Amino acid sequence: MAWNKIGDFAALFLAFIFAACGGDSGNNAPASEMGESQSSNSKSNQSNVGDKSCEDLSFLSTWDGCFCDDGIWACDLSISSSSTPLSSSSLCDFCEDEKKSSSSSGAQDDELVLTQIVNKTISGLAQKGPFDVGSTVSLSQFDSKTFLQTGSNYTGKVANTSGAFEISNITLSSPYVTIQANGSYRSEITGKFTSGKITLKSFADLSNQSNVNINVLTHLANKRIAYLVSKGTNFSDAKKQAEGEVLKIFGIKDDVKNFEGLNLFGKNNGSAVLMAISIMMQRDLNIADINSLLSEFETNFEKTGKWDESAQAKIADWSSTKDLTDGLDSIRNNIEKWKLGTVPDFEKYIRNYWYDSYGLGACSKSREGEVHADTNKFSSNYEKKVRYICKDSAWRKASYFEMDTYKWEKGEDGEMRTGNVWQTSVYIYDAELGEWRSRTFEEELFGACILSNVGEVSRYKDRWYICKSRVWGLADTIEVDTQGWSEGADGEIKKGDSTDVFYKYDEVLNKWMTANKNDTTLKLNGCTTKQEGEVKNSQTDASYYKCKDLRWNGLDEVWIWGISIENYLNPSISYGTMTDYRDGKTYRTVKIGNLEWMAENLNYADSAEMKSLLHRSWCFNNAVANCGLGGRLYTWAAAKDSVQIAKDLIEYYSGVVVQEPIKGCGYGVYCGHMTGSPSVCPAGWRLPLKAEFIKLSNSLGGGKGKSLKGWNDGNNGTDNYGFSALPVGMRDDAGGFIQDGYGTCFWSAEEVGAGSCSGADCNYAATHANILCFGEIYGEHRIDQSAVNKKYGLPVRCVK
């Protein structure tokens, strides 16, 4: 059926009835103010008069605003009629009839229904988290006097993901209603829709509002409001009281009003409060448990305005656990993924709830470092050895140390004290740190490790411990054996006090160190920092040793300059010899394949006789003694005798006009000479060709060409053929001496691409020549044919 909206005229009419029936005459209003328009269907309403035995009331039957509906008179107060003047006498006649009717007993008499809500549309949001689309929303009317539910019911459905709903064409005789939503919803805890359904309610007065939200807060307050109104409290006061009592239970001190106006995704404190309480009521409960919890709350809260304290403590315990394990961050992430709006600062209300429930209060800057226990006797943490500490404006669980040493003053160095909470825990005061610290197991055994007993050694079962850096730690053998020893002479050897281990004293490091076998058997005293690099001949085996890395290393482990080459040659090889007529030096030779090779590096240095050698050859590290063992390091120009080649060219081109000055075969000049002569080698000998190096490396393979001794880290060769390549290193193009002990390379007679270069290749050939390398020059223990800058200084092996 269609009804007009009540408007101000309905209110005036109600006031007029009240005055005519003995109410305050000051509320009377002129008939002209009661209404100015008639409903378009008012005439049709009159046709209902007398339907289904409505009592024939002349006043009502002649007024356009009233009609008979199923035996009951109903009046639309917004409709007035000139044919039915609204007089106080006619109203009072009706009032008297109503009084008589209400005083009689027996069957129910016809009654007058004064309609107050006409054709109204109600909208709102159904939110626990938001209810799922399609969830049912229903509205039920409450009697204005008894506040019992009547039969007026309207329904709607949730229309979108925010939980929005709408109910249209609502006509009610009482403005008091319950609106409830039933369905599944998005859980803040999981981020997903629940598998079961929940029912939430909102108790509202529709007189002055058309928007009513349904949420956890409206549900918690709804029965309490109805109860208070049924006991005589007016609706507005009842609502205010019930809402205040709900907020008090959850420790909310902020001013939050009108629960039915709150939205989870608003930008005010009310939205944050709603979300916080919705989350705390949900917790990790399943649907059955949360329905049970809500029912339990309604039962407890309806008549008392209070809730069971043990139930509140469970919420506090859950909240503290979530807060202290970053669980609230996870919940926020879940809600933000819904993308339904701004997520308010709900976390602070959850934190404040458990703070207050535990009796902690706010964590302010002035309370920084305070430690307190949970004082809520219903909490699971009550009277347990759990404490909370105020840190950086938030309460968190205190560590054993923080709770045990709270409010302790400074102590004496090494003083021990039992903890405040854990009586089995003992702490020690460290004067150097200026603070208390946990006592270690070793300090429990041996006492405090403090400045006065640093270096002290103690034993527990089969282990030794030493006090150092104010902490007891496992002692090594040297700490046990040398306890109390004074300084010694550099390299001095001494047997330990408690074991058969020997030790040496290092004057630079100012301490005793474990001696190795060579330190004790070679009769050289200990190898120390001060002796690093020294070479000594042992009286025990007449062999040479070098002090390297605090250890005496023999020739089979390390390269040693300054000794004769006999120490490196293979004693199993029958070497030949050759004497360089130029300076009388004799060299060992060896035949490999069809070629005879020098088994030592060339050491010819007369730059007066061979001008190519001037400023182009060196001893390693510029130490003349090193040339006796490793020969000289030549540039390619010196090795090729570039000056002689230039002379030969000048003679060759004698009488011929040339475009450029005649040059030899030095750096930057493409020579093209593929023969091994002239060269720095003596007459009858020459520089090897690249092909000859390749043939040699194929014969030698792997380590067969390296000497038996002298390679660092024991990377020696087998020297099968007596070639005896020594790791004499090289001089780089910047003048640095490198790679001794690790590798060596020899010059060939050829440039890169000799005899066949063109264009840019010739530019490269002018600066690089072919070589044969042994050892780690290229990062591996191998031989290799490659090329190098002609400015490098490399040794020479002559061949014939």
**pLDDT, tens digit, for every residue of 371-391?**
999 999 999 999 999 999 999
Q: Residue 576: CB partners within 8 Å, gap ≥ 6?
A: 588, 589, 590, 591, 596
Place of tokens 């005899």: 755
Mean pLDDT for the chain overall: 84
Q: What is the pLDDT of residues 507-550, one digit of tens each?
A: 999 999 999 999 999 999 999 999 999 999 998 999 999 999 99
Average pLDDT over residues 80-88: 40
Predicted confidence at residue 766, as pLDDT, reads 84
Say how many C-beta atoms besides its own lie within 10 A of residue 680's C-beta: 26
Highest mean pLDDT of the ranges 143-147, 483-487, 596-600, 659-663 = 596-600
- Predicted local distance difference test score (pLDDT) of residue 14: 40
| pLDDT of res. 759 | 66
Task: Please provide the DSSP assignment of 717-747 as one string.
Answer: ---TTS--B----EE-TTS-EE-TTTEEEEE
- Residue for token digits 């007679």? 749
The residue with greater pLDDT, 650 or 233, is 233
**Dihedral, CA atoms, 607, 613, 615, 618, nearest 10 degrees?**
-100
Alpha carbons 102 and 643: distance in angstroms, whole number: 143
Question: b vs e for 1-35, b when ≥16 Cβ sit within 10 Å of the residue's Cβ?
Answer: eebbebeebbebbbbbbbbbeeeeeeeebebeebb
pLDDT of residue 165: 97
Looking at the predicted structure, is the pLDDT value of residue 131 above 80?
A: yes
Q: Which helix (H) or strand (E) holds 14?
A: helix 7-20
For the ranges 98-102, 479-483, 580-584, 677-681, the lowest mean pLDDT is seen at 98-102
Average the pLDDT over 453-473 and give the result.
Answer: 87
pLDDT at position 68: 59
The CA-based dihedral angle spanning residues 325, 327, 329, 332, taken in that order and rounded to the nearest 10 degrees: -170
> Between the CA of residue 6 and those of 33, 172, 310, 423, what are the distances in Å?
13, 11, 49, 76
Looking at 73-77, 110-114, 125-129, 302-306, which range is the least confident one?
110-114
686 and 748 Cβ atoms separated by less than 8 Å: no
pLDDT category of residue 28 using cuts at 50, 70 and 90: very low
Cα torsion 615, 619, 622, 625 to 10°: value is -140
State the residue for tokens 């997903």.
192
Name which of 195, 170, 176, 186 is nearest 119 in CA terms. 170
Percentage of the chain beyond pLDDT 70 is 82
Encoded amino acid at 274, one letter: L
- pLDDT tens digits, residue range 600-635? 999 999 999 998 899 999 999 999 999 999 999 999
Q: How far is Cα 598 from Cα 798, in angstroms, rounded to an integer?
A: 6
Task: Specify the pLDDT at position 45.
Answer: 37
Nearest 10 degrees: CA dihedral of 670, 675, 680, 685?
170
| DSSP-derived 3-state class of residue 224 | helix
Q: Taken in order 642, 643, 649, 653, is the CA torsion positive or negative?
A: positive
**Residue range 6-29: average pLDDT?**
37
Q: How far apart are CA 80 and CA 450, in angstroms?
A: 102
Ramachandran angles phi, psi of 575, nearest 5°? -80, 150
Distance between CA atoms of 91 and 187, rounded to whole angstroms? 56
Residue in the block written with tokens 């001696």: 515
Distance CA 589, CA 2 (A): 128
pLDDT band at 398 (very low <50, low <70, confident <90, very high): very high
Specify the pLDDT at position 109.
Answer: 39
- What mean pLDDT comes out for the span 191-211? 94
- Measured between alpha carbons, how far is 114 from 95 in angstroms, rounded to an integer? 13
Burial class (CB in 10 A: 0-12, 13-18, 19+), 208: exposed
Q: What is the DSSP letter of 186?
A: B
Task: List the beta bridge partners of residue 771.
Answer: 747, 786
Nearest residue to 754 via CA among 701, 697, 699, 693: 693
- The more confidently predicted of residues 60 and 573 is 573
Q: Residue 61: which pLDDT band, with cuts at 50, 70 and 90?
A: low
Q: Is the pLDDT of residue 795 over 50?
A: yes
Averaged over 55-80, what is the pLDDT? 52
Q: Which range is most confident: 4-8, 68-72, 411-415?
A: 411-415
583 CB-near residues (< 8 Å, 6+ apart): 604, 605, 606
Mean pLDDT of 161-181: 94
* Residue 696 CA to its chain's centroid (Å): 59
Token pair listed for 177: 């209603």
**Under DSSP, is residue 10 helix (H, G, I), strand (E, B) or coil?**
helix
pLDDT mean over 400-425 = 92
* Res. 21: pLDDT tops 60: no
The three-state secondary structure class of 639 is helix
Query: What's the CA gap between 710 and 559, in Å, rounded?
Result: 4
Report how far apart, in Å, the C-alpha atoms of 134 and of each of 126, 159, 184, 210, 687 are: 11, 6, 10, 21, 98
Query: With 0-12 CB in 10 A as exposed, 13-18 as middle and 19+ as buried, what is 571?
Result: exposed
Calculate mean pLDDT across residues 697-716: 89
**pLDDT by residue (tens digit) across 271-316?**
999 999 999 999 999 999 999 999 999 999 999 999 999 999 999 9
